[in-house]
Chain A
């Protein structure tokens, strides 16, 4: 009787996941939404452990508690300590852990269900998807933190990957069909799925990583759902499918923001045109120093700041807030133009600027801010590159052609802060830098902006 309470807890947990996700899509309720989902999760875990039917040796309880305690400490400390710039890769890392968990469940449970075709299919599906999600996430993690800087492409990688994928299907079908009890098969399938995950992500360029992480996120959700199917466990099923479907939609939304069809992301349109990367526009660039820029800014009416990954790397979010304040005191109108995929993840810049208490209303989205550029005196681009590259509109041979950009070239003056003339993440040069109204402000974002702020103060 008492153990049946778990079904009520599972129901409540499922509701908390749905409500939590719903609340996460509104800035006002987002934080509580996350806490609500977390509470539901704790409930589901407790119910699974304590309302279990049947005898279980105390050793197993100790193993479970030990693993949970260790996982909590490691997870908590890692998540608390990480810098804001490292968040995207951490999400990828945790996603991979979930995938690995699903894969291990499949490996262990397999021999319990030999001969039962439905259960075997479910186990194999969960294990394959979990494994792909695990190894794929690890590659995405390595790419984002810079360990794996370049896209690695084997010859004919698309064909090779497709063959492996089809092979995985056929092999899994063979295992189910023959109902084999030989565990060698499932380990081989496991290894092949891991290999596929690696080969699936490794050719994809770093700029597309957010989409890949979101996609792998929904994969893990799917793997969890297969686990729920296997155990007849509703909370795993609802949670898993919820993330699977929401994650897929989120992936498509991101693709739309970048104007890159999912097909191109996976089958690598960047790859085809990358040869053109080294070339591109050449010419002379004009430089400007902090003191000249300070004077120019001091007498401007309207300034728009375009933040990019460089801002995150330099940890310049606080000093940029300082710059904003001092300019506002001088009567300059300041706002931030946020490209949906600036940084390494959609919303990355918003999170970063929120850290330094930049007013939410000052963050303008691309569609709203593009018509404002012609009335803007100075656009200050801080560590962004591809999202302001006019080639996306004008040059059909460019790898980023078709991506909506912030049309900063329409502003009266453009100042670009970069560390050097190196190309952006897509690996292409930016003609914007060579335009007449563009001035380059070379240097680390934090240092240069700090100089700018002190020059502005000195002007008073």
Chain B
């Protein structure tokens, strides 16, 4: 119990963010028409590409002589970029088609 309270106190800001964001996520999707399910999934897919920030932080904090870490980190940045760029571009291409309607 004490461990849990200590954990909570140490990380209370993060826990607040997490709980509130869960509700925001549910609210935001609330009533989306079936038409937009695929673009929405694709857009959300691009947003979790934010994991690339983690890969960048990893690279910036790594010991320069850690060859394996550097290699894996570089691959991580590459894959994260694929997720971000590919995700947003594909979503845009899907949505581009909706725009032309009268």
Q: Considering only CB atoms and an 8 Å cut-off, how many residues of chain A contact the other chain?
A: 113
Q: What DSSP secondary structure best describes chain A's contact surface?
A: helix
- The smallest beta-carbon distance between A59 and chain B, in angstroms, is 7
Bound: A95/B91 CA distance, A = 13
Q: Kindly state whether residue B34 has any CB partner on chain A within 8 Å.
A: yes
Provide the residues of chain A in CB contact with B87, threshold 8 Å: 75, 91, 94, 98
- The smallest beta-carbon distance between A225 and chain B, in angstroms, is 7
Within 8 A of A (CB), among B6-31: 7, 10-11, 14, 17-18, 21-26, 28-31
Cross-interface CB contact of B86 among A18, A44, A97, cutoff 8 Å: A97
Q: Kindly state whether residue A432 has any CB partner on chain B within 8 Å.
A: no
Provide the residues of chain B in CB contact with A109, threshold 8 Å: 58
- The smallest beta-carbon distance between A385 and chain B, in angstroms, is 19
- The smallest beta-carbon distance between A177 and chain B, in angstroms, is 13
Bitwise interface map of A from 246 to 271 toward B, beta carbon under 8 Å scored 1, else 0: 11111001100100000000000000
Which of A34, A45, A52, A87 has the most chain B CB atoms closer than 10 A to its own CB? A34
Contact B21 A238 (CB under 8 A): yes
Contact A34 B92 (CB under 8 A): yes
Bound: A248/B41 CA distance, A = 10
Q: Kindly state whether residue A236 has any CB partner on chain B within 8 Å.
A: yes
Which of A24, A229, A338 has the most chain B CB atoms closer than 10 A to its own CB? A24
Q: Kindly state whether residue A274 has any CB partner on chain B within 8 Å.
A: no
Q: Kindly state whether residue A2 has any CB partner on chain B within 8 Å.
A: no
Contact B94 A107 (CB under 8 A): no
Bound: A58/B78 CA distance, A = 18
Cross-interface CB contact of B53 among A17, A45, A360, A365, cutoff 8 Å: A45
Within 8 A of B (CB), among A268-301: none
Contact B93 A101 (CB under 8 A): no
Contact B75 A104 (CB under 8 A): yes
Cross-interface CB contact of A250 among B41, B76, B89, cutoff 8 Å: B41
- The smallest beta-carbon distance between B12 and chain A, in angstroms, is 13
Segment with Cβ contacts to B, from A61-69, A197-205, A391-399, A446-454: A61-69
Which of B36, B68, B69 has the most chain A CB atoms closer than 10 A to its own CB? B36
Bitwise interface map of B from 87 to 102 toward A, beta carbon under 8 Å scored 1, else 0: 1111111111111111
Provide the residues of chain A in CB contact with B73, threshold 8 Å: 63, 104, 108
Within 8 A of B (CB), among A216-246: 217-218, 220-221, 223-225, 227-246
Bound: A95/B41 CA distance, A = 10
Bound: A108/B36 CA distance, A = 37
Contact A246 B51 (CB under 8 A): no
Provide the residues of chain A in CB contact with B95, threshold 8 Å: 30-31, 34
Contact B34 A365 (CB under 8 A): yes
- The smallest beta-carbon distance between A53 and chain B, in angstroms, is 9
Contact B86 A41 (CB under 8 A): no
Provide the residues of chain A in CB contact with B50, threshold 8 Å: 13, 17, 41, 44, 224, 235-236, 239-240
Bound: A80/B40 CA distance, A = 18
With A60-B60, A231-B57: A101-B52 Cβ-Cβ less than 8 Å: yes
Closest 5 CB pairs of A and B: A71-B81, A245-B25, A75-B85, A346-B37, A75-B86
A sample of 17 inter-chain contacts (CB < 8 A) reads: A21-B25, A25-B32, A75-B82, A75-B86, A75-B87, A79-B93, A94-B49, A94-B87, A101-B80, A104-B76, A109-B58, A225-B18, A231-B54, A236-B51, A249-B25, A359-B101, A365-B33
